[in-house]
Amino acid sequence: MPTIRTLLVDAAAKCPDREFVRWKANHVWHNWTFRELLKQTRIVSEMLSLLKLKPGDRVAVVMENRAEWMSAYLGIACCGLTVVPVDYRLQAVELSHILRDSETKAVFASAPVWTVLREIEADLRTLESIVMLDGIVTAQFKDNGVVHCDFSTLALQVENRAKDAESFFNRTGPDEETPASIIYTSGTTGRSKGAILSHRNFCSQIRALEFFQVKPEDNFLLVLPLYHAFAFSACFVVPLAARCSVSMVENMRTIPENMRETQPTVLLAVPLLAEKMMNAIQRKLSKNLLAKTMLSIGLGKAVGRKIIDNLGGRLRLLICGGAASDIKMLKKWARLGIATLEGYGLTETSPICAVNPQDRIRLGTVGPVLPGNELRIADPNEEGVGEIEVRGPCVMKGYFRNENATKEAFDNGWFRTGDLGKLDGQGYLMITGRKKNMIVNREGKNIYPEEVESYLANCPHILESLVLGYHIEEEGKGEHVGCMLVANMERFEEERKAGSSSPLTDEEIRDICLAEAREALRGIATYKHPRKIVVKFEPFQKTQTLKIKRFLYSLD
């Protein structure tokens, strides 16, 4: 099994002048080749030596997607230290918890994080140094026992030493079991825990290349944040191994423009992003009579060719992960001639543990287990549904200094995902819900909220939904099915403008949403129907990967 370090060194040796990463700054596109990436990595590694850090220490990277994120990560991990990748938009309490829990010794950060770091640094007993990008620190100083440095100044100090035979990069290095990252779970159910992921864990993800072909001329579009395991493995480790390129979007609003400029071939997205892109495409198609006619007579690929041209002209593969995808949405992408597939995983599985093979896609499933790993359904019911358990090289080493949580997560070597699913006759996995979300009614019947929510997702006036169990105290044990709906206020406003009518009252909006929900749910068993429905006008709070923070909501 290679390490992340060997992936980088081999790529720089075999194709030094091939472009690896491309980003836009001040309206101009810049790039690093594999040779330049290795050079920048060596410089960061030498900074670690200057800061008196050593293999085994934890170093946090807290910044937005940028080239320096990659060089900082590689500079740390390639020398046997462990990276703690953190969302740069976290509030003080959240960031403080992660840095304290991981016993971080140093932080590499960008300008947006400066104020929060200054607020919490005095309370972080293990923190020794902060290295800031963007010229925030104009002269090195020490405060609260923490040394504050400028990234560019340190880089100039160590640039020559980084080339020496006795450089820190040359003297140190990881093996395959060395922790590469401690990634803190997104917290959809409460306080996050640090999953320890080794070089072996991440490099096991390379076997996904047995399921879909990636060529040196491919260009991955990086939309999701690199601190998230899905983006890190699929848009950083895999392209590094395949020796192809990665293009970073500026932000969510510039995705179409950036796609035209960079001409990506592979797009990895969470379902909500893929859905928003498809909705924008469909709005344009609805105004084009010729395109609508061609789609209706099966000429979707001809229409798709024009759409692909508007997205850079080379897009050939869309991979969705991070949450459940709507099959209808995936089919719409596929009709346009873009291979569209879904995968499944968790932070604790590096993250991909199952994915559809490109030449054997089965929509409605997340594919078979990744080669080299095993997957089973524990304690299946009469429908074959049970908890999904995984073991193999993709599974984490455990939670950082949390033995109780680690023991709870494993069953004789099998990682308990907490998700419910079943396998079809070909070994493809179908996700049915989240174990902790499952509702058990008074008759003992199991209701999976995600199934009910999938029906409500087709309602045009409902933006999103959350199905929850609730109790009626005087009835004792057993739950009833309830639901919160968020009205699609943008849709209501579009219809108001189109009809030049006066705005609807809140009560009228509620009535429309309730009527749509009841109609949509006619196709499922009545015991799954929500007895209590609440209509909201503000979207649910979400994690950075756009999953609803379910623990914040209750109907009790």
- HEC per residue, 214-241: CCCCCEEEECCCCCCHHHHHHHHHHHHH
- Give me the mean pLDDT over the 351-371 stretch: 96
The Cα–Cα gap between 218 and 246 comes to: 8
Of 387, 362, 345, 95, nearest to 231 by C-alpha is: 345
Which 3 state secondary structure label does DSSP give 319? strand
**Mean pLDDT over residues 369-395, rounded?**
96
Token output for 132:
């800031």
What DSSP state is assigned to residue 172? -
CA 330 to chain centroid, in Å, comes to 18
88-103 pLDDT, tens digit each: 988 898 899 999 999 9
pLDDT at 291 over 80: no
Answer whether residue 386 shows pLDDT above 90: yes
| pLDDT tens-place string over residues 144-194 | 999 999 999 999 999 999 999 999 999 999 999 999 999 998 654 456 799
- DSSP lists the bridge partners of residue 421 as 386, 431
Cβ-in-10-Å burial (0-12, 13-18, 19+) of 131 comes to: buried
Lowest mean pLDDT among 42-46, 67-71, 286-290: 286-290
Task: Please state, for a pLDDT cut of 70, what percent of the chain lies above it.
Answer: 98
Q: Give the residue, 258 or 335, on which the prediction is more confident.
A: 258
pLDDT score at 188: 46
Instruction: Give the pLDDT confidence of 509-555 residue by residue, as tens digits.
Output: 999 999 999 999 987 878 899 999 999 999 999 876 678 888 889 99
- Flag the least confident range among 192-201, 321-330, 387-396: 321-330
**Among candidate residues 174, 280, 186, the one with its CA nearest the CA of residue 231:** 186
**Any idea what the Cα angle at residue 208 is, between residues 203 and 209, rounded to 5°?**
100
Average pLDDT over residues 196-208: 97
Q: Kindly report the average pLDDT of the chain as a whole number.
A: 92
Helix axes 67-77, 4-14, angle to 10 degrees: 120
Positive or negative: CA dihedral 399, 402, 407, 412: positive
pLDDT at 477: 62
- Report, as an integer, the average pLDDT of 331-346: 91
**8 A C-beta contact, residue 154 and residue 53:** no
What's residue 303's pLDDT? 79
CB-neighbour burial class of residue 498 (10 A; exposed 0-12, middle 13-18, buried 19+): exposed
Sign of CA dihedral 525, 531, 536, 540: negative
Query: What's the pTM?
Result: 0.84
Say what the pLDDT of residue 293 is: 79
Q: Is the pLDDT of residue 290 over 90?
A: no
Cα(396)–Cα(80) distance, integer angstroms: 17
* pLDDT of 59 over the 80 cut: yes
Mean pLDDT of 132-150: 97
Q: What's the pLDDT score for residue 189?
A: 47
Q: Is the pLDDT of residue 444 over 70?
A: no
Mean pLDDT of 269-295: 83
User: In this predicted structure, which of 109-118, 469-478, 539-548 has the lowest mean pLDDT?
Assistant: 469-478
Predicted local confidence at residue 497, as pLDDT:
87
Q: What is the DSSP letter of 243?
A: T
Which phi-psi region, left, alpha or beta, contains residue 264 (left: φ > 0; alpha: ψ -120 to 50)?
beta
- CB-neighbour burial class of residue 450 (10 A; exposed 0-12, middle 13-18, buried 19+): middle
Q: Sheet containing 532-536: give its strands across.
A: 462-470, 480-487, 532-536
Residue tagged 């499933």 (tokens): 365
Quick one: average pLDDT of 387-403? 97
